[in-house]
C-alpha cells in the first residue's frame, strides 16, 4: 500500500495551496452550527443544503431558539429537504442537550455519538471540527478517495468494508489538526476526486495514485449492492367545503414524509384511470351518506425519492354538510395550507392551483 504519511502530507498541501471551496460552516467552531450543517447535508446536495442551512441558522441561531419553536414551524422550514426523520431527531436531540447538558453541546465523542440521529460520521465531524479531537470522518467522498488512491477493491457497502475504510482513515488522520484534515479530504473528494469525471489532470495526488496509474478510476470504489427501487401510486382527495375549508391529516406512520400533512389519501398498488377513481369502493365508503361532487381530477404528478418513485393524482371534491370528518383529519381554511409542512408532491399541485 502507498506510503500513508505521503498521502496525508500531499492532501494537506493541496488544501493549503489549492482548496478554495467556500462554505458558511467551514472553520466553524460552534458545535451546534456544525451539527445543524451535518444533519442537513445528510442525503442532501451541498448546493441545496446551503440554502436550508442559512435559513435554519437565521431562524434558530442557538439550540435554545430551536427547542422553544413549535414543531410545525420547524418542519415547515425543513419542507422540501426530505428524510424528515432527520428533522424529528434534531428536535429531540436539541431538547435532550438543553435538559441534560444545560444547553451546552457535549464535548466528547462517546457522549456525542449517543445522541439521537448522530452516527459515527457526524460524531467524528463534530468532535474534530468543534473540539479538535482525533476522529476521522468517513463518508462516500472519503471512501472514494481512499479506494482510488490506494487501489482498494474491497466493497465499501459491506460490514467488513466499512470497518476497513474506517480503520484506514483513522491511520491517515493528522492527529494535530484533525478538523483541517477531515475538511480537506471531504473537499478533495467533492471537487477533484469526484464520482463522475474526476479531475485527474489537475490532481496533486495523482503521482502515487494507484487508480490513475492502472486506469481503475472508473471502477473504484466497488459496491456490491444495487438499490432496489419501487413505484407507489398516491391518489389524494382534496376534500373542500362551501365555506372555503379543506381537510388535511398528519402522517404519523413509519413511512416517508412522517410528521408532514396531506389530503385524504388512497394508496393503490397500481395506476388507475380517472373513471375508476370515481367508481372506486374507497370513494363510496369514505363519503358514505354524504352528498359530494367531484369537481376536477388533476394531471399526474411525480416525485422521485432515493429508493422509490411516487406518482400522485389529486381529486378535488366538494362536500355538503353534514360531513362526518374522520378523527385523523382536521378542517382548516384553504389559505392556511401554506402554514403547514407539506410534501413536495402536494406543493407542486398547489402551485398549479394559483
What stretches in the chain show pLDDT beneath 50? none
Establish if 257 belongs to a structural domain.
Answer: yes
CA distance 120 to 104: 20
Q: Domain of 335: which CATH number?
A: 3.90.79.10
For the chain, give the number of residues: 354
Q: Which domain holds residue 278?
A: 230-351
CA distances to 90, 196, 283 from 54, in Å: 16, 28, 44
Q: Are 34 and 145 in a shared domain?
A: yes
Helices (H), the chain: 4-17, 31-41, 46-59, 63-68, 71-78, 85-101, 109-112, 120-131, 140-150, 159-172, 178-191, 210-214, 274-278, 281-286, 344-351
CA distance 311 to 296: 17
Q: Are 123 and 208 in a shared domain?
A: yes
Give kind and range of the element (H or E) at residue 301. strand 301-304
Q: Is 26 helix (H, G, I), strand (E, B) or coil?
A: coil
| pLDDT for 354 | 64
Establish if 224 belongs to a structural domain.
Answer: no
Q: Are 207 and 62 in a shared domain?
A: yes
Residues 6+ apart with CB under 8 A from 33: 25, 57
What cell was used for 222?
466497488
Q: Are 210 and 85 in a shared domain?
A: yes
Total structural domains in the chain?
2
CA distances to 117, 154, 330 from 260, in Å: 19, 40, 13
Residues 6+ apart with CB under 8 A from 303: 309, 310, 312, 343, 344, 345, 348
The answer, as to whether pTM is greater than 0.75, is: yes
Establish if 287 belongs to a structural domain.
Answer: yes
Q: Are 133 and 251 in a shared domain?
A: no
Q: Are 209 and 272 in a shared domain?
A: no
Q: Are 165 and 308 in a shared domain?
A: no
CA distance 352 to 336: 17
CA distance 160 to 154: 9
38 catalytically annotated: yes
| pLDDT for 161 | 93
Q: Domain of 138: which CATH number?
A: 1.10.340.30
Establish if 83 belongs to a structural domain.
Answer: yes
| pLDDT for 1 | 56
Establish if 115 belongs to a structural domain.
Answer: yes
Establish if 222 belongs to a structural domain.
Answer: no
| pLDDT for 322 | 66
CA distance 15 to 12: 5
Q: Are 8 and 116 in a shared domain?
A: yes
Q: Are 63 and 183 in a shared domain?
A: yes
Selecting among 28, 38, 71, 262, the annotated active-site residue is 38
Amino acid at each position: 500500500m502507498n506510503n500513508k504519511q505521503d498521502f496525508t502530507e500531499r492532501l494537506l498541501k493541496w488544501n493549503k495551496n489549492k482548496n478554495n471551496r467556500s462554505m458558511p460552516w467551514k472553520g466553524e467552531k460552534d458545535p451546534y452550527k456544525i451539527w445543524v450543517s451535518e444533519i442537513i447535508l445528510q442525503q442532501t446536495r451541498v448546493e441545496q443544503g446551503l440554502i436550508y442551512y442559512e435559513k435554519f441558522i437565521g431562524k434558530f441561531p442557538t439550540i435554545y431558539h430551536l427547542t422553544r419553536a413549535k414543531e410545525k414551524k420547524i418542519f415547515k422550514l425543513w419542507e422540501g429537504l426530505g428524510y424528515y426523520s432527520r428533522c424529528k431527531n434534531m428536535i429531540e436531540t436539541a431538547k435532550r442537550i438543553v435538559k441534560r447538558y444545560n444547553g451546552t453541546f457535549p464535548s466528547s465523542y462517546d457522549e456525542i455519538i449517543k445522541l439521537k440521529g448522530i452516527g459515527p460520521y457526524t460524531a467524528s465531524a463534530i468532535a474534530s471540527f468543534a473540539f479538535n479531537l482525533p476522529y476521522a470522518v468517513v463518508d462516500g467522498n472519503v471512501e472514494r478517495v481512499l479506494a482510488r488512491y490506494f487501489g482498494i477493491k474491497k466493497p465499501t457497502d459491506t460490514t467488513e468494508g466499512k470497518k476497513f475504510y474506517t480503520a484506514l482513515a483513522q491511520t491517515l488522520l493528522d492527529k494535530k489538526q484533525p478538523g483541517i484534515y477531515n475538511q480537506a479530504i471531504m473537499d478533495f473528494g467533492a471537487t477533484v476526486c469526484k464520482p463522475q469525471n474526476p479531475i485527474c489532470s489537475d490532481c496533486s495526488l495523482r503521482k502515487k495514485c494507484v487508480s490513475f496509474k492502472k486506469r481503475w478510476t472508473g471502477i473504484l470504489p466497488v459496491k456490491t449492492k444495487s438499490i432496489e427501487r419501487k413505484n407507489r401510486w398516491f391518489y389524494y382527495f382534496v376534500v373542500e367545503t362551501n365555506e372555503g375549508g379543506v381537510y388535511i391529516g398528519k402522517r404519523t406512520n413509519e413511512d416517508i414524509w412522517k410528521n408532514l400533512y396531506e389530503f385524504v389519501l388512497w394508496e393503490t398498488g397500481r395506476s388507475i384511470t380517472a373513471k375508476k377513481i370515481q367508481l372506486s369502493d374507497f370513494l363510496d365508503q369514505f363519503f358514505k351518506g354524504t352528498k359530494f361532487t367531484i369537481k376536477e381530477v388533476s394531471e399526474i404528478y411525480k416525485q422521485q425519492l432515493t429508493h422509490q418513485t411516487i406518482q400522485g393524482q389529486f381529486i378535488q371534491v366538494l362536500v355538503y354538510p353534514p360531513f362526518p370528518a374522520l378523527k385523523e383529519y382536521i378542517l382548516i381554511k384553504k389559505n392556511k395550507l401554506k402554514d403547514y409542512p407539506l410534501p413536495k408532491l402536494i406543493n407542486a399541485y398547489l402551485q398549479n392551483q394559483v
